[in-house]
Every structure is written in C-alpha cells, then in structure tokens.
Amino acid sequence: MNSRKTIEVWVGLFVAAGLLAIAMLAFKVGNLTTADVVDGYTLIAKFNNVGGLKAKAPVTMAGVRIGRVTKISFDNERYMGVVEMQIDGRYKNIPKDTSASILTSGLLGDQYVGLEPGGSEEYLKSNDTIQMTQSAVVLEKLIGQFLFSKASDGDKAK
C-alpha cells in the first residue's frame, strides 16, 4: 500500500512538471515572458506596409530589446500603418534622426521593429514620430520580382 502511494506521488509530480513546461512554452511562443516596459515613453513610426507585425512585438536597437509595440493603426489621410511603441525609460538618448525598420526573426517569421541610431545630438521625446522608416519585406513580392527577372533574363538569352 505504501509503495502505491509513492508511485502516485511521483506520477503526480511528473504530470505537474509536464504542465508547467507546456505553460512556459506557451508563454515563450506567445512572447509574454518579459515584463512590460517600466517608466517608458511612446514613439510613433509610420510604415507603407507593416506586414505581420503585431502588438507586443519587441522593439530592438543593436539587438537589445528596448521596448514593445503597443498599438498598430491606420492613417486614413496618408494611407499608412501607424505603429506606436513603448520604449523603456532607461533608453532616453535615442537620436532624432534614428530610423525604424520592420525586420523578421526566427524560423517562424516573427516580426519586430529594429531601430538604427543616427548621429543627431537632439533626442526623441515622448510622442515624437520617427521620420525614416523601412517597411516590412513581403516575401511574395520578392519571389515575384525574382521570377520576373529570371524570365526576362531567359528572353534575352534567346
């Protein structure tokens, strides 16, 4: 009887560890493992195409996560995607001429905003707009351009 209870306890611990591992994996894949930005400020960037960028996507500079995307909306006047980012308060010295790009990481194709600092001695403040942006690369367009260029190269060879 005593060995049966021991086996049941071990099975219970094994099941609990498995559920904990599944929960940790879900949080990691859902990009929910890191805390939200503390004492941050908002920056805005407008893109022609935001691709698959989602709210809570990381904002990085030099490969270091410095913030998160908080909101994605549409500008009806300029027909552009508007991305609002919350930047951690520790990173207040971002030059005004910084550029923003939508980049892809990993095998799953998660997209994030990458910031490239400029050389200005003036810094971005809360609710400032980043002027220089580069939209997401749309894989379908890239493949189409490649196939079109190969087809035109084939016509020239004849």
When pLDDT is cut at 50, 70 and 90, the band that residue 140 belongs to is: confident
Tell me the mean pLDDT in the region 113-117. 96
CA torsion 85→86→87→92, rounded to 10°? Answer: 100
Tell me the mean pLDDT in the region 15-24. 91
For residue 136, pLDDT beyond 90:
no
